[in-house]
Structure 1
Amino acid sequence: MADTRPKASPTRWARAVPPARLSPINQFKPKSMSYPAAQALPQPDRVVIINDSATAQGGSAVLALLLVELLRARGVPVTFIAGDTGDNPRLAEIGVDIVALGEVPLLGRGKLEALRKGIDNPAAREMVARFVAETDTPGTIYHVHSWAQIFSPSIFSALAPVAARTVVHAHDMFLACPNGVYMDFHHGLHCTRRPLSADCITTHCDKRSYPQKLWRVARQAALFRQFGQALPWAGIAMIHPGMTEPLQRAGYPAERLVTVRNPASPYTDHRIPAEENAGALFVGRVEPDKGVEDLIEAARAVDMPVSVVGEGPLRERLAAQHPEVTFVGWQDRAGIARQAAHARVLVMPSRFPEPFGLVAAEALMSGLPVIVTELSFLVDELRAGDLGLTYPPRDTAALAACLRQIKNKPVAEMRALSERARAAEIALKPDGWADAVMALYGKTLAASAA
């Protein structure tokens, strides 16, 4: 048989010091996953993390890099395949091998190149195919985090020979929905259509234009072909069980969907005494879809102070129009903690579905109750635990009513609410998350060997 391995070598290989032997993992059984005892599960020879960026730009990159840290702390050998230049000194510092494509995200390319490479990036396919052909072992796990900005759907055809040991993390809905969030942005409505159905294709739902939607449809069709479910992919790791139905609607089989809730840590080591505070806190992009304008309008109606942590296209205009609102820009965790220490409630007023809502989880773990729209996947947990309030998206009157209820809650009731939030198990702790991921790897290797 002819050697079909790609001959080109567009990558930068940074060979690190050989990692230490793997250390045993703790027994862990996530609520939504059923595994053998951890001691009985095989452990990977190496984990290959695949992500568009090697730096903390966006939620998927932050989690991918956190996972690398946690795996290396357990002695697991790691290779990081990056779509960008791979320039992250921390990776080399902790003994991670780096394979870098050296390209830029779609928005940093010329229009025609972005249109073409967003659907098919031959260099990415060749790089990953070559890596697999030259380095794969029966104990290697491949873990894809993000692919839409640089790698394109092409990497899945390169991973097809090792599909049985490839885990794909669904940090959002781009595996299913052309615009990634099941949202009809043109009409401001949550979408319940079947992806790539005639109804989907003919609906103008994109933020920019209908031609942009058709390009997204073409990319989605390429993804469905190259990530075809006839192949024995190891699994799709969902960050919340609420993602199950939308992914199944796109054709992903239920037995391939596994819930691994995101990790989160509280802003502070102690409970924030929300009952002593008065303001509402917003953490996120200052843009229309995040609903920050809805919060400002509702808070003004009930005379509640608002602090906004984050940057975005609306910040300058909103800061000029609303001098009563405190805009502090992007903050590190210590900066967010300082703002949260003076908050009575965190509000996540997103106008589109939020699969997890990390800021809400972190606020709850810190003792802050939260207010979210009914599109948030955390709605059921909030209601079941009485941890906050929900309202219909874009309904500023309903949001104002929620803020008024929180503002007027007696001290004892507010303290009890804060204490419930602090004690709630909304997210995994980082070590628990690593346990869950390692258990998924072990199950994958056991199934592959069988």
Structure 2
Amino acid sequence: MHLSLSEALRSAADVSRFPGPGTPRIDRVVVIDDYSVARGGATGLAVLSAKLFRGLDIPVTYICGDDAANAELAALGVSMVGLNSRDLLSAERAKAFVTGIHNGAAARMVANWIAARDTANTVYHVHGWHQILSPALFRALAPVAARCVVHAHDFFTACPNGAFFDYQAQEICLRHPLGAGCIATACDKRSYSHKLWRVARGSNILRLLRAEADFGRIILLHEKMAGFLVGAGYRPERLTTIRNPVAPLSIERVEAEANDEFVFIGRLDEEKGVEDAVAATRRAGARLCVIGDGPLMPLVATSGDHVRAVGWQSHAEIGTTIRKACALLMPSRYPEPFGLVAIEAARSGLPIIMSRSAFLAEEMERAGMAFACDTADEAAFAETLTRFAQMPRHEIRAMSERAFLMSPDLASTHEEWRDALLAEYCRLLSTNVVPELTDAVATQGVFR
């Protein structure tokens, strides 16, 4: 029997709720992340997964490093377990130095929960760990490693600085993680001593995660991530790609052709390239709206009259702000594993101008919804902005319409993403779960 893609995905959810003979039932999904309240990124997806699973009446426990004060999840019946701790940037320096490498309290919290509540059909899904929980988390999860999924939202599972990027040289790094060349290179954006601290933490990750083959599955955001992890020593068969779910920032198409303001959305940090966006728009004589917050906010807010810094905004607020935008700028300096904001903006009708190193750049440019360039080269970036701004309005509208109509093909819907995760959980629980499902999904590219 051959299942269609929609039937295969539906079966993934049905397996968890209405198991047939010989099919495991998922007793509970334990979602693990540093934080319980999201401002995007890994935590946003961790929280989303908990909501989606509860929508199928699957029991969910959410274990986190903060105070677990997410009232929305609690109202949905999610069992909240928190360490009530602060992240590394907020903690006292000496304590952060130790707990960033091994947070013993986090390990005990997880180990105690497993000892008291684990069942043979409980699945564990780790989203974020490097801000509070630390690599100690994986030692605590070792007894249930075969039922554990680790989501690689970034490259911290392989690279000490999490980006395969040399911040000092401002170039992508292809050195073997934790090899002699890696350890000897001062690539950290802060200092070489901080790099050595990250080496110590990275060695824990590779020892506890890479070397422990029992950890069932590592989920990637994009197929191109696999080469980096395989180069770091992970076996290819442990890696599965499930593209992130995307919801448009605006349900109606943004009339990009009627606007003349570029927009940047994201964390205001060096690796996101906001400084490059500020410099290139200044050089091109263009206006820039910056949505987001982070360490570079003071610099961005005082960078000139051509910049409008609005701070952090909710998904709905961003949808209103971008009505005035002509294109999104995504100038990440490191190999952006997915670039969720690029697809969110494209699905709203915004053309994208992005770094060539972003994994989505080739696909989006080929589809005619984006321009890719070396965004670290101020002159090249500014020239691309000028070229876009001088395009005839009907050509910008065509780009906008292509983005609005075609970008959904680059990501999952919320339901597809949820059901793909459930299918992975079922694979971990049994090697004999719905063989037709595996064949159908693999053939049609959901598990890439």
How far apart in 1 are the matches of 2:160 and 2:269? Answer: 21
Establish whether residue 56 from structure 1 lines up as the match of residue 42 from structure 2: no
Indicate the residue corresponding to 1:306 in structure 2.
288
How far apart in 2 are the matches of 1:321 and 1:383? Answer: 30
Shift of 1:239: 1.1
Q: Percent identity?
A: 43
Q: TM-score, normalised by structure 2?
A: 0.89
How far apart in 2 are the matches of 1:84 and 1:279? Answer: 38
Question: For residues 230 and 330 of structure 1, do their structure 2 counterparts lie closer, same or farther at Cα, with a shift above 3 Å needed?
Answer: closer
Shift of 1:67: 0.7
How far apart in 1 are the matches of 2:13 and 2:82? Answer: 36
Shift of 1:130: 2.0
Matches within 5 A, 1:400-419: 400-419=382-401
Indicate the residue corresponding to 1:16 in structure 2.
none
2:183 to 179, 197, 201: 201
Indicate the residue corresponding to 2:305 in structure 1.
323
Indicate the residue corresponding to 2:164 in structure 1.
182
CA shift digits 1:164-185 (9 cap, x unpaired): 1100010111101001111111
> Residue 38 of structure 1 contacts residue 439 of structure 1 at CA under 8 Å; is this kept in 2?
no
CA shift digits 1:54-83 (9 cap, x unpaired): 111551111101111111011110011111
CA shift digits 1:273-332 (9 cap, x unpaired): 212222211112333332223223322333322211122343334433411222222222
Matches within 5 A, 1:329-408: 329-408=311-390
- Counterpart secondary structure, 1:177: coil
Deviation larger for 279-288 or 167-176: 279-288
Establish whether residue 431 from structure 1 lines up as the match of residue 415 from structure 2: yes
Indicate the residue corresponding to 2:7 in structure 1.
27
Indicate the residue corresponding to 1:216 in structure 2.
198
> Residue 343 of structure 2 contacts residue 410 of structure 2 at CA under 8 Å; is this kept in 1?
yes
Establish whether residue 241 from structure 1 lines up as the match of residue 223 from structure 2: yes
> Residue 172 of structure 2 contacts residue 334 of structure 2 at CA under 8 Å; is this kept in 1?
yes
Task: Count residues with an aligned counterpart.
Answer: 422
Indicate the residue corresponding to 2:93 in structure 1.
111
Indicate the residue corresponding to 1:440 in structure 2.
424
> Residue 204 of structure 1 contacts residue 210 of structure 1 at CA under 8 Å; is this kept in 2?
yes
How far apart in 2 are the matches of 1:83 and 1:286? Answer: 23
- Counterpart secondary structure, 1:227: helix
How far apart in 2 are the matches of 1:317 and 1:153? Answer: 33
Q: Which amino acid aligns with 2:416?
A: G
- Counterpart secondary structure, 2:410: coil
Question: For residues 274 and 51 of structure 1, do their structure 2 counterparts lie closer, same or farther at Cα, with a shift above 3 Å needed?
Answer: same
How far apart in 1 are the matches of 2:69 and 2:136? Answer: 23
Note the residue ranges of structure 1 that are not aligned, 5 or more in a row.
1-24
Shift of 1:414: 1.9
Q: Which amino acid aligns with 1:247?
A: L
CA shift digits 1:76-116 (9 cap, x unpaired): 10011111221222222111112222222122322222222
- Counterpart secondary structure, 1:150: coil
Shift of 1:378: 0.8
Question: For residues 319 and 106 of structure 1, do their structure 2 counterparts lie closer, same or farther at Cα, with a shift above 3 Å needed?
Answer: closer
How far apart in 2 are the matches of 1:399 and 1:290? Answer: 15
CA RMSD of aligned residues (A): 2.3
Q: Which amino acid aligns with 1:426?
A: L
Deviation larger for 423-432 or 341-350: 423-432
> Residue 28 of structure 1 contacts residue 436 of structure 1 at CA under 8 Å; is this kept in 2?
no
Q: Which amino acid aligns with 1:256?
A: R
> Residue 281 of structure 1 contacts residue 339 of structure 1 at CA under 8 Å; is this kept in 2?
no
Deviation larger for 421-430 or 137-146: 421-430
